[in-house]
Amino acid sequence: MERHSSVAETPVNSVMVQRRSGSKSFRQSYRSCVGAASHLGYTPGLTTRRLTTSRRAPRSRTVTESVNPEQLSLLVKKEWQLSYVTPLHHFRHTQLRSYSRQLLAFIVAEKQQGLAVALEGAESSLKVVFSVVEGMATTDDDADTVLIQIHSKSVFASQDDPRRLVWSGWLTCINGSPDYVRSLPKDFVCLPLLCSSGAQWLTSLVKSWLERAFDCCIGSLDINSVNLQWLAALWTNCHPESNIGQLKLMWTLPVDPPLEIAFTVHPQDAWELWSSMRGQLQEEEQENEGVGEGAGDKDSVDIDEVTRFIDGLKNHFYRHFRLDLSAGTLSQVSTALGTAKHSGRIKISSSSYMNATLMLLTECALLKMPV
């Protein structure tokens, strides 16, 4: 890694090193220096090479079969704030109890320092539970999902009263890039996506404890407009199997005062547009290649199809309202399967297609992480 950083910081020196001897003509060697400097100056190259251009279409996954429905109900129908987490050092799935004790002690210690507290009662009113959600991992490389819950109860309640869930969060890795996961040293566990919901002060305490205990970095994860378009397309693709209710897209236009446009599409119309775009692309492929290979591609979704789908919606809007939505940014996508916001909030409303969504978010987290 040092070699990379030195190359990025001192490109001028590397030009000197690369310069060839005087055996070649001046112009040739100069051109090779210029070429070498210009490509050594950019690390790590184009990001589009690392982005997937095609994904597998989501299926009504067997998530409901393999995961405990009680735990699943904790994950769906709640709005989560996303963060990326760098690989955790010395994280053991067997030591969860001691982690719960450590986290509780940390929170208690921080509270006694005089931070503003929103909870009533003494410190013993908090209880931290770490648990493993089994069955969510798709490949052998994925680590099991870890769920963290913080309960509280008031001082005056008896032992039998139910505890209120104050904060919950889960660390997960669904189908993370196998090259990356396998390249990590043995002590590291890769759980790049952290979803948290609850009081802000508890979130920051949990994050700082995780950073201290496992030597990782946690930062906020935004979902940029390309990924929101992917989600819109993948959810629309599920329409024939389970009704998506409606496809709602929200755009923000940079005018003064800022204009927010909510564009709601009837699901059947969205499905017709989507399938006609896919059919069109497959026909074009067949024309170009002359071989009927397009028929077998029903499983995978390409970035071209997604771009065309969104362009189709934008053109329709332009024809009616004379407003070009390309001037703004896509800020929210919601269907009956879930809601995703640009600020990094996600709500999964139905457990059937959860895997595809989480796969996409895991990939976002892995890309956003400082490598």
Partner 1 sequence: MSLLKPFSKLPGLNAANILLVENEEQLQQRLADALVEETAVTVNVRLAKTLPLPLKNEKSRPRIDLVVFIINLTSELSLQSAEASLKYLDPGYFLGKVCLLVTNARNASVPPARLDTVRKLAASLHCPLLCAEDQTPDGVTNAAERLLTILKVAAGLVPMTTALYLSNLTRCTVPSDIDQQGFD
- Residues at the site binding partner 1, with contacts judged by CB under 8 A: 34-35, 38-39, 42, 45-49, 51, 222, 224-227, 254, 324, 326-329, 342
Residues 193, 195, 200: CA angle, nearest 5 degrees: 130
Residue nearer to partner 1 on the CB measure, 160 or 322: 322
Q: Shortest Cβ distance from residue 230 to partner 1 (Å)?
A: 11
Residue nearer to partner 1 on the CB measure, 74 or 226: 226
Q: Shortest Cβ distance from residue 3 to partner 1 (Å)?
A: 10
Q: Shortest Cβ distance from residue 50 to partner 1 (Å)?
A: 9
Instruction: Respond yes or no on whether the N-terminal peptide bond of residue 257 is cis (omega within 30° of 0).
Output: yes
DSSP assignment letter at 132: E
Q: Shortest Cβ distance from residue 58 to partner 1 (Å)?
A: 22
The bridge status of strand 88-89 relative to strand 300-302 is unpaired
What is the C-alpha separation between 311 and 325, in angstroms, rounded? Answer: 9
Residue nearer to partner 1 on the CB measure, 116 or 320: 320
The answer to whether residues 344 and 220 touch, using CB atoms and an 8 Å cutoff, is: yes
Residue nearer to partner 1 on the CB measure, 123 or 311: 311
The answer to whether residues 57 and 300 touch, using CB atoms and an 8 Å cutoff, is: yes
One-letter amino acid for residue 66 of the chain: S
Q: Shortest Cβ distance from residue 317 to partner 1 (Å)?
A: 13
Q: Shortest Cβ distance from residue 49 to partner 1 (Å)?
A: 8
Residue nearer to partner 1 on the CB measure, 52 or 286: 52
Residues 340, 244, 272: CA angle, nearest 5 degrees: 110
Give the count of beta carbons closer than 10 Å to the beta carbon of residue 271: 19
Q: Shortest Cβ distance from residue 368 to partner 1 (Å)?
A: 9
Q: Tokens representing 369? A: 């992480």
Residue nearer to partner 1 on the CB measure, 241 or 324: 324
SS3 content of the chain, % helix, strand, coil (to 5): 45, 20, 35
Those residues whose C-beta lies under 8 Å from the C-beta of residue 195, and which sit 6 or more positions away, are 80, 81, 82, 83, 169, 170, 172, 346
Residue nearer to partner 1 on the CB measure, 49 or 322: 49
Q: Shortest Cβ distance from residue 324 to partner 1 (Å)?
A: 6
One-letter amino acid for residue 216 of the chain: C
**Residue 164 is inside which H or E element, if any?**
strand 164-172
Residues 234, 235, 238: CA angle, nearest 5 degrees: 95
Residue nearer to partner 1 on the CB measure, 129 or 226: 226
Give the count of beta carbons closer than 10 Å to the beta carbon of residue 178: 12
The answer to whether residues 295 and 217 touch, using CB atoms and an 8 Å cutoff, is: no
Q: Shortest Cβ distance from residue 221 to partner 1 (Å)?
A: 10
